[in-house]
Structure 1
Amino acid sequence: MADKDRAAKEQQMRASINAKLIETGERDRLKEALQQKLIDCGWRDQVKAHCKEVVKQKGLDNITVEDLVLEMVPKGRALVPDSVKKELLMKIRHFLASQSDL
């Protein structure tokens, strides 16, 4: 029962944090900053090139958008540089530390 309680509490905390990020506009600012970082580090170009390669290998008529998304999501996440992940996490922690009502 303790695991269920902890999981429910974590889910509630995530929802509360997400609501605060949206309410303050910080979510959009973080999203824009992340998009720019991914462009700057070449992530977007890497993902685009990998998409083209997958389509080329499987053939345009043999792949659906859903298939491509299923293949690209794990690859895209793996290609995000650790430095970008750490920077985003630090920004989120800083935001949370500045919020007295969470």
Structure 2
Amino acid sequence: MELECRRASLHRPGEDLHKRDEPSLQEAINLKLVESGEKEKLKDLLRERLIECGWKDELKAQCRAFTRKRGRSNVTIDELVRAITPKGRALVPDDVKAELLQRIRTFLLSVQF
């Protein structure tokens, strides 16, 4: 009974519980990225590129402006994250996204599933 409850808690709508023995493609890719150490390399590359292009400084300025506008003591971290995240994603330069995507494609072509 306990096992059934655990499996049900992991159940995704529209998914047959008995067919869920294999990881999804996304899960398999993530596992390969982690096991190979490539995920950490990609994170490091992204950090480096975002610093180089001024993204980090721009986001810092956006955070300061938001907290100044609302009052430092009237802002929670969750509110700040909710307000700044969409702006942060939109500010990532296309060439940085393209470089990361190419690195991921190259990695995927080099591994077997």
TM-score, normalised with respect to structure 1: 0.87
The count of residues paired between Structure 1 and Structure 2 equals 94
TM-score, normalised with respect to structure 2: 0.79
Q: Which has the higher helix share?
A: 1
Question: Residue 90 of structure 2 is aligned with which of 78, 87, 92?
Answer: 78
Question: Residue 45 of structure 1 is aligned with which of 43, 50, 57?
Answer: 57
Shift of 1:61: 1.4
CA distance in 2, matches of 1:83, 1:17: 23
Identify which of structures 1 and 2 has the higher relative contact order when contacts are C-alpha pairs closer than 8 Å and 6+ apart: 1
Aligned partner letter, 1:76? G
CA distance in 2, matches of 1:64, 1:30: 30
Which residue number corresponds to residue 34 of structure 1? 46
- Higher Rg of the two aligned structures: 2
Runs of at least 5 residues in structure 1 that lack an aligned partner in the other structure = none
